[in-house]
Copies of this chain bind each other. A is one copy, B any other.
């Protein structure tokens, strides 16, 4: 048994999320079917750093792959990419998994980016990769509100009802909102996130940006710890899983 780390990019529009499920095509299924072809036909199993929802994209998802065979990382990358075609999922790089490394449990930081296209016209070139909001928005107000949410809190107000985590306490390390022309970019970082946490945070900052709620509102929602008080869940297509970090002693050497 050899364990590998895979650095993945995928277009979430083509998949019903990361996780395998009956009668729905998932990233995990695409990857495990490609890997099985290199595994003497035996099933190959994968575990992701973060289980992205249906429609959510990834530029830097990390997954762990268990294979019965021993293949050099660069050959494994080429072979997996060959078998993944034409699904819009690729292995950007492969590393041998260090002893004791887990894609999911060893991660010390996860980074997500959410993109809002803030202009009158619907997206043409970025269709499917942004949340289109045609109303005037104040990104600076969103940034002020976002800073009030940083730190170690009970994020019950921002977790999906389906969230299975035992505790809703998380440490939000970064939540930055900035404008780049017609785009509003929201960058979120934490050791781990609750289910829908980033999308619910975005959905709660948007009414502030639109001037419908004061900049103090998101913090009041956080403190109340009630999901029904928060904003809507932002649509999945604006979200992209950007990066996973591991501690120095479990550093991955990508090939």
Contact = CB atoms under 8 A, between A and B. Distances in A.
Contact of A129 (B10, B125, B240): B125
Given A11-B127, A127-B11, A121 B91 contact: yes
A88 B125 CA distance: 7
A89 B124 contact: yes
Q: Which residue among A9, A77, A85, A123 has the maximum number of chain B CB atoms within 10 Å of its CB?
A: A9
Nearest to A8: B124
Interface in A69-92: 74, 77-78, 81, 85, 88-92
Copies in the complex: 2
A120 B94 CA distance: 11
B129 A9 contact: no
B11 A124 contact: yes
A29 to B, nearest CB: 16
A240 B120 CA distance: 21
Interface residues of A, number: 25
Contacts of A232: none
Interface of A: 9-11, 57, 59, 74, 77-78, 81, 85, 88-92, 119-125, 127, 129, 240
30 contacts: A9-B121, A9-B124, A10-B124, A10-B125, A11-B124, A11-B125, A11-B127, A57-B125, A59-B125, A74-B120, A77-B120, A77-B121, A78-B120, A81-B120, A81-B121, A81-B122, A85-B122, A88-B124, A88-B125, A88-B127, A89-B124, A90-B121, A90-B123, A90-B124, A91-B121, A92-B119, A92-B120, A92-B121, A125-B129, A125-B240
